[in-house]
Amino acid sequence: MHLFRSLLQRFLRAQQSGLILVILLLGFLLTLFAGSHVDPQTGRQVNNFLNPYTLMQTATDACFFAIMAIGVTMVIISGGIDLSVGSIYALAGVTVAMALRAWGTTEAVAAVGLASALSLGVGVICGLLNGLMVVGLRVHPFIITLGMMWVLRGIAFVISKADSILVPDSLTQATKNSLGLGSGIYPVPLLIMLAVTVLGEIYLLKTVMGRNIYAVGGNPEAARYCGLRLGRTLVSVYAIAGLTAGVAAFVGSGFYGSASCADATGYELYVIASAVVGGASLMGGRGSAVSAMLGAFLIVLIRQSIRTLHFDQNYEWIIIGCAVIAAVVLDQVNARLATRRMSRAASGQTGTEANGRDQSSP
């Protein structure tokens, strides 16, 4: 009993506890009101939401947002923003599909190796361009990444001639491998997302470069006086955001079997919403990879709720917009409360020191 109480207290004190509780509550409500249908294979009544196929599909939909949200969260922690990740996704996917078609690669190992190398390479190059322009031109990252969003999608449009390009079946079979879980259940995107989340969390919390990101976003001037290289840190976070977009493009093009210049249109908003709902502060200095992943799951659960409960899908944007506004408002409220607590603690400590000096004086 004592162990259970200790674990419960530790969970409630965790940064992600609120998000997890909201996700569980939303999942419970979906299970309760989603209704059921008869499984044609077994003849049993199956809940429309709480079944392996729907849960895996929901998780798969969240994977692409979550992978990119981890990279964008690092940008937001550093005090920046990246609106170009959706276009990087499209360009990386189109590049992979065109290269595989041109070289006629059909063997599974060769297709996966070439696709991953090209997709990640394109992502990193685009991210580096973003970071170098933000640092070198000293223009606000909103403007740089907004311009790159159009430029990169335009390049994808020109080189693909607006065609949807198929990828080899061997790549699709590798990405949609059921790993023995049964037909219709494809866990590979989920496993890749979990791997990226773990690596992102380790990078942020256990490496010097990761801690530097928090320092730069929390107080750039203090970080500069401490000898940190702000330019290198900023370039690195945009490169990581591009890298995660490349990973998402590799998984997405393989999973869906094709790539086009229109892929991931509007993903920028979902990705930033996932990061913000996950607790990343737009003022910089706060956020985590795990929270970004949970934020993506919450956003996708909201979308799934609208579909499962047969609401008008036009309400999707309204609900997600309200969720983002609520998250930002709560972030501001928490920041103000934290500042007040620190001020009170500082004033209390000053008063105690003053009383100590008065009592010690003759």
Instruction: Tell me whether residue 357 is in a domain.
Output: no
Note the pLDDT of residue 330: 73
Instruction: Tell me whether residue 27 is in a domain.
Output: no
Q: Tell the residue number behind the tokens 């409220």, with chain if given.
A: 333
Note the pLDDT of residue 13: 66
Q: Which structural domain, as residue segments, surrounds residue 322?
A: 51-327
Instruction: Tell me whether residue 14 is in a domain.
Output: no
Note the pLDDT of residue 325: 82
Q: Which two tokens stand for residue 165?
A: 């390009």
Note the pLDDT of residue 315: 77
Instruction: Tell me whether residue 220 is in a domain.
Output: yes
Instruction: Tell me whether residue 276 is in a domain.
Output: yes
**Local confidence pLDDT in tens for the 362 residues of the chain:** 666 666 666 656 666 777 888 888 888 888 888 888 787 777 788 888 888 888 888 899 999 999 999 999 999 999 999 999 999 999 999 999 999 988 877 787 888 999 999 999 999 999 999 999 999 999 999 999 999 999 999 999 999 998 999 999 989 998 998 887 777 788 999 999 999 999 999 999 999 999 999 999 989 999 888 888 899 999 999 999 999 999 999 999 999 999 999 999 989 989 999 998 888 888 888 899 999 999 999 899 888 888 877 777 777 778 878 877 877 777 677 767 767 777 777 676 655 555 555 555 55
Domain count, the chain: 1
Distance CA 179, CA 169 (A): 17
Q: What is the DSSP letter of 15?
A: T
Distance CA 209, CA 223 (A): 12
Pairing relationship of beta strands 258-259 and 165-166 according to DSSP bridges: antiparallel
Exposure letters 306-319 (e unless 16+ CB within 10 A, then b): bebeeeeeeebeee
Note the pLDDT of residue 63: 94
Instruction: Tell me whether residue 37 is in a domain.
Output: no
User: How big is the CA angle at 245 (ends 154 and 204), to the nearest 5 degrees?
Assistant: 145
Note the pLDDT of residue 278: 87
Give the CATH number for residue 265: 1.10.3470
Instruction: Tell me whether residue 15 is in a domain.
Output: no
Note the pLDDT of residue 1: 63
Q: What is the DSSP letter of 239?
A: H
Note the pLDDT of residue 352: 54
Note the pLDDT of residue 351: 54
Instruction: Tell me whether residue 86 is in a domain.
Output: yes
